[in-house]
Structure 1
Amino acid sequence: MVTTSSSAVLLILIVLTGEWNNKAVGAARILALLSVPSRSHHIWNRSLMLALAARGHQVTVVSPDPEKQSVANLREIILEDMYDDMHEAYDYEAMSQEGYFQNTITIFDWGYDACKSALASKGAKRLKDLTVNETFDLIIVEAAIDDCFLSFIPEFGSPPVMAMVAYSSPPWAGFRMGNPDNPSYVNTFNLPYSDHMDFFQRMVNMILHSFVLLSRAFYHMPAQQKIAEDFFGKSLPPIVDVEKNLSLILVNIHYSMDYPRPMVPALIPVAGMHIKPSKPLPQDLQKYLDDAKEGVIYFSLGSNVRSDKLTAEKRQMILEAFSELPHKVLWKWESDTLPGQPKNVKVGKWLPQNDILGHPNVKLFITHSGLLSTQEAIYHGVPVVGMPFLADQFVNIRKSIARGVGEMVDYNTLTKDSFLATVRKVLYTPSYTIKMKRLSELFRDRPETPLETAVYWTEYVIKHNGAHHLRSAALDLAWYQYFLLDVISVLTIGIILCLMLLYFVAKIIYKVVTKTKKNVKTKKH
Structure 2
Amino acid sequence: MILRVVIALAFCAPHTHTARILIIVPTPAYSHQLIFRPIIEELTKNHQVTFITTNPAYPKGDTPRNLTEIDAGPISYSLWNQEVSITKFGKDNFIYDGVNVIFEVMPKIFAEQLRLADVEKLIRNAQFDLLILEAWFRPILIWSYLYKVPVLQISSMGTSPGNPDTMGLPDHWTYHPSLFHQKIYDLTTSERISEMLRYLHVQSVFDANEAKEDEILKGIFNDAPPLRSLRRNVDAMLLNLNPLWDNNRPLPQNVHYIGNINRNPAKELPRDLQAYLDSSDTGVIYMSFGTNVPPSKLPRQLTQMFASVFRELPYKVLWKWDLDVVEGMPENVKTGRWFPQADVFRHPNVKLVITQAGLQTSEEAIECGLPLIGIPFLADQWLNVDNYVHHGMGVYLNAETVTAEEFKAAIVEVIENDKYRSSVLRFRGLVSDVRLSPAQRVAWWTERLLRPGGATHMRAPAADMRLLDYLNHELLLLVICCCVCVSSLIAWTAVLILKSLLKGFGIKI
1:345 matched to 2:333? The reply is yes
Cα contact 1:150–1:243 (8 A) shared by 2:
yes
Shift of 1:61: 0.4
Q: Report the TM-score, using the length of structure 1 for normalisation.
A: 0.76
Partner residue in 2 for 1:275: 263
Partner residue of 2:32 out of 33, 38, 41: 41
Matches within 5 A, 1:197-276: 197-217=187-207, 219-232=208-221, 234-276=222-264
Distance 2:303 2:192 in 1: 37
- Equivalent residue for 2:176? 186
| TM-score when normalising by structure 2 | 0.78
Give the Cα–Cα distance (whole angstroms) in 2 for the partners of residues 205 and 123 of structure 1.
38
The within-5 A match list for 1:4-83 is 26-53=17-44, 55-69=45-59, 70-81=63-74, 82-83=76-77
Gap change, CA 1:23 and 1:183, over 3 Å in 2: closer
Shift of 1:314: 1.3
- Aligned CA distance change for structure 1 residues 318 and 180 (closer, same or farther; 3 Å): same
Q: Which residues in structure 2 correspond to 1:315-394 (within 5 Å)?
A: 315-394=303-382
Instruction: Structure 2: give runs of 5+ residues left out of the alignment.
Output: 1-7, 438-470, 472-509
Q: Give the 3-state SS of the residue equivalent to 1:97 in structure 2.
A: coil
Aligned equivalent of 1:442, options 420, 430, 435: 430
Counterpart for residue 106 of structure 2: 114
| Length, aligned pairs only | 424
* Inter-partner Cα distance in structure 2 for 1:419 and 1:198: 25
Q: Which deviates further from its counterpart, 78-87 or 393-402?
A: 78-87
Distance apart, 1:27 and its partner CA: 1.8
Instruction: Among all aligned residue pairs of Structure 1 and Structure 2, give the percentage whose two residues are the same amino acid.
Output: 30
Letter of the 2:125 counterpart: N
Paired amino acid for 1:227: I
Pair 1:136 & 2:128 matched: yes
Partner of 2:419: 431
For 1:85, the equivalent position in structure 2 comes to 79
Relative to 1, partners in 2 of residues 1:270 and 1:99: Cα closer, same or farther, differing over 3 Å?
Answer: same
Partners of 2:188 and 2:308 lie apart in 1 by 39
The answer (yes or no) to whether the contact 1:332–1:351 under 8 Å persists in 2 is yes
The structure-2 alpha-carbon separation of the partners of 1:173 and 1:278, relative to structure 1 and needing over 3 Å to count, comes to farther
Alignment check: 8 A CA contact 2:21 2:130 kept:
yes
Which position in structure 2 is the counterpart of 1:500?
Answer: none
- Determine which structure has more spread, i.e. the larger CA radius of gyration: 1
Letter of the structure 1 residue corresponding to residue 51 of structure 2: V
Shift of 1:100: 6.0
1:285 paired residue among 261, 273, 280: 273
Say whether the 8 Å CA contact 2:96–2:198 is kept in structure 1: no
Q: Which amino acid aligns with 1:133?
A: N
Residues 448/290 of structure 1: CA separation in 2 closer, same or farther (3 Å cut)? farther
Which secondary structure state, in structure 2, belongs to the residue aligned with residue 257 of structure 1? helix
CA drift of 1:121 comes to 4.5
- Asked if residue 308 in structure 1 is aligned to residue 296 in structure 2, the reply is yes
CA distance in 1, matches of 2:425, 2:211: 46
Residues 242 and 258 in structure 2, CA contact (< 8 A), matched pair in contact too: yes
In the other structure, the counterpart of 1:170 is: 160
Q: Judging changes above 3 Å, is the alpha-carbon distance between structure 1 residues 308 and 357 closer, same or farther for their aligned structure 2 residues?
A: same
How far did 1:419 drift?
0.9
For 1:93 and 1:392, the matched residues in 2 are separated by 17
Q: What is residue 116 of structure 2 aligned with on the other side?
A: 124
Structure 1 CA distance for aligned equivalents of residues 365 and 167 of structure 2 = 30
Check 1:282–1:111 CA distance in 2 against 1; reply closer, same or farther (3 A cut): farther
The answer to whether 1:402 aligns with 2:395 is no
Do the aligned partners of residues 23 and 235 (structure 1) sit closer, same or farther apart at CA in structure 2, a change above 3 Å counting?
closer
- Please say which of residues 432-441 and 174-183 is displaced more in the overlay: 174-183
In 2 relative to 1, CA 251–363 (structure 1 residues): closer, same or farther, beyond 3 Å? same
Greater RCO, CA 8 A, separation 6+: 1
Residue 200 of structure 1, CA deviation: 4.5
Q: Is it true that 1:99 corresponds to 2:56 in the alignment?
A: no
Task: Write the letter of the residue equivalent to 1:162.
Answer: L
Which of 139, 142, 145 is matched with 1:151 structurally?
142
Q: Partners in 2 of 1:27 and 1:187 — Cα distance?
A: 39
